[in-house]
Amino acid sequence: MFGKKITPTAPPGRTKGQVPQQQMGTEDVYQKVQKISQEVENASRWVDPLQKEIAKVIIGQEHLIRSLIIGLLTGGHILLEGLPGLAKTLAVKTLAKAIQVDFRRIQFTPDMLPADIIGTEIYNPQQTSFETKQGPIFSSLILTDEINRAPAKVQSALLEAMEEGQVTIGDTTFPLPELFLVLATQNPVDQEGTYPLPEAQIDRFMLKIVVDYPSFEEELQLINSLEDTPTPLIPIITSDDIFSARRVLGQIYMDEKIKRYIVSLVYATREPRNFGLDLHNYIEIGASPRATINLATVAKALAFLGHRGYVTPDDVKEAAMDVMRHRLRISYEAEAEGISSEDIIRKILDTIPVP
């Protein structure tokens, strides 16, 4: 569909064939990775129990559950897209019950106002002054359900909160909880009564997860589960466990070659010709630098979930689709030829050599 595969040229700032210099010797790197791997092993003991606890309610959807845990580990906001009835809302609510944090659910509707989310100032006639009433955004875990059913000005009310962890009401800025995570669900944009998210907002979501139908066996298991007595969920972790895991996550080792691989994947969406890719007619806007940061962070989270203290190229490749699919704006020519952002990302992954 895109033509033959061409060996890509070197990314900017590096001469083709140049070997990146290592800052540490092989023995030093090995000892460092060994130490980090042990810390990861200790800090990730809650991961498997949490997945099993969520699996009591959510049948299948392993990728969805794994992605929600990545959001907890990284503090990155997640957008879940799928048709109604695929357990998107239930998965988030189940996650909230399995951890000991504040949780609020916001149902987005076409008649919603920004004040319904962040709060507003209310006049107090007795005090002859205005008082601030904080909205539901002031919680640790926020489920914004059907986010694309509200107008753009309401969706944009989340911008400051998602990026800076604060909200401005009137002339006063209020900090949000230290543990703050937005998990949004949306129906496909071709559904009736939906609005596309503004580019500035959608770029603030670390991951966009496309939720698909369960398999035949999973759906059969879903029917059988109706005959069982519901098992109450037990909180597995606290916010302190999450913060401890995040500190270890930041120490996970990433080799210089993998860093260059990450930058090459993102940069290829902006300047595909530099990598021998004939995609410039299909891409209107490439991925932002936020994609580079998120790709490196999610790759470390996948290493953490794998109980490893180092990132592998497979971690990067696994993270690439969910990190970049919503950050590419394809051209009209791509739409006319039936080429999606996912097709473009697959071509980039297939072309750029893996370190």
CATH number, domain containing residue 353: 1.10.8.80
Mean pLDDT, rounded, for 252-263: 93
> Which amino acid is residue 78, in one-letter code?
I
pLDDT over 70 for what percent of the chain?
Answer: 91
34: in domain:
yes
| Range of lowest pLDDT (18-22, 186-190, 328-332) | 18-22
Are 286 and 341 in contact, with CB atoms under 8 Å apart? no
Q: Is the pLDDT of residue 3 over 70?
A: no
Rounded to the nearest integer, the mean pLDDT of the chain is 84
Per DSSP, the residues of 108-170 read --TT--THHHHEEEEEETTTTEEEEEE-TTSSSEEEEETGGGS-HHHHGGGHHHHHHSEEEET
Q: Is the pLDDT of residue 319 over 90?
A: yes
Query: Distances in Å between the alpha carbon of 339 and those of 121, 211, 272, 284?
Result: 47, 20, 16, 13
The answer on 153 and 119 residing in a single domain is yes
Tokens of 66: 């794994």
Tokens of 245: 């895991």
| Range of lowest pLDDT (19-23, 32-36, 55-59, 290-294) | 19-23
Give the model confidence (pLDDT) of 34-91 as tens digits.
Answer: 888 888 888 888 998 898 888 888 888 888 889 999 999 999 999 998 887 788 888 8
236: in domain:
no
Confidence band (pLDDT; 50, 70, 90) for 22? very low
Q: Is the pLDDT of residue 1 over 70?
A: no
Q: Which residues have CB under 8 Å from 13's CB, separation 6+?
A: none
What strand order describes the sheet that includes 181-186?
Answer: 103-107, 141-145, 181-186, 77-81, 205-210
19: in domain:
yes
Q: Which residue has the higher pLDDT, 83 or 256?
A: 256
The answer on 158 and 59 residing in a single domain is yes
State the Cα–Cα distance between residues 325 and 210, nearest whole angstrom: 10
Q: Give me the pLDDT at residue 230, please.
A: 72
CATH number, domain containing residue 200: 3.40.50.300
Q: Which residues have CB under 8 Å from 93's CB, separation 6+?
A: 103, 105, 143
Confidence band (pLDDT; 50, 70, 90) for 16? very low
Give the model confidence (pLDDT) of 270-287 as tens digits.
Answer: 998 888 888 888 998 889
Are 20 and 260 in contact, with CB atoms under 8 Å apart? yes
* Measured torsion, CA atoms of residues 237, 243, 248, 254, in degrees rounded to the nearest 10: 110
Give the model confidence (pLDDT) of 102-150 as tens digits.
Answer: 888 888 888 888 888 888 888 778 877 788 888 889 988 898 888 888 8
State the Cα–Cα distance between residues 183 and 154, nearest whole angstrom: 16
The answer on 68 and 41 residing in a single domain is no
57: in domain:
yes
Domain count, the chain: 2
Tokens of 45: 């003991």
Q: Give me the pLDDT at residue 191, please.
A: 63
The answer on 320 and 262 residing in a single domain is yes
Q: Which residue has the higher pLDDT, 157 or 330?
A: 330
Q: Give me the pLDDT at residue 189, please.
A: 65
The answer on 115 and 40 residing in a single domain is no
Are 345 and 324 in contact, with CB atoms under 8 Å apart? yes
Are 39 and 248 in contact, with CB atoms under 8 Å apart? yes
232: in domain:
no
Q: Is the pLDDT of residue 12 over 70?
A: no
29: in domain:
yes
Tokens of 209: 């997860």
Residues in the chain: 355
The answer on 27 and 7 residing in a single domain is yes
For 98-117, b where at least 16 C-beta lie within 10 A, e where not — what string?
Answer: bbebebebbebeeebebebb
The answer on 57 and 198 residing in a single domain is yes
Q: Which residues have CB under 8 Å from 317's CB, separation 6+?
A: 349, 354
Q: Give me the pLDDT at residue 194, please.
A: 73
Shortest CA distance to 354 belongs to which of 324, 319, 316? 316
The residue segments making up the domain with residue 328 are 1-46+253-355
The answer on 174 and 155 residing in a single domain is yes
233: in domain:
no
Q: Give me the pLDDT at residue 190, please.
A: 58
The answer on 13 and 141 residing in a single domain is no
Per DSSP, 21 falls in state P
Q: Give me the pLDDT at residue 23, please.
A: 47
292: in domain:
yes
Q: What are phi and psi of 200, to 5 degrees?
A: -65, -35
* Of the ranges 60-64, 142-146, 165-169, 206-210, the best mean pLDDT one: 206-210
Per DSSP, 25 falls in state -
Per DSSP, the residues of 73-109 read HH--EEEEE--TTSSHHHHHHHHHHHEES-EEEEE--
Last residue of a domain, one of 213, 228, 262: 213
The answer on 350 and 271 residing in a single domain is yes
Tokens of 335: 């739409």
Confidence band (pLDDT; 50, 70, 90) for 290? very high
The answer on 276 and 179 residing in a single domain is no
pLDDT over 90 for what percent of the chain?
Answer: 28
Q: pTM for the full model?
A: 0.84
Q: Give me the pLDDT at residue 27, please.
A: 67
Q: Is the pLDDT of residue 25 over 70?
A: no
Residue with the two structure tokens 């919603």: 112
The answer on 286 and 145 residing in a single domain is no
Q: Give me the pLDDT at residue 310, please.
A: 92
State the Cα–Cα distance between residues 237 and 288, nearest whole angstrom: 33
Shortest CA distance to 77 belongs to which of 201, 233, 263? 201
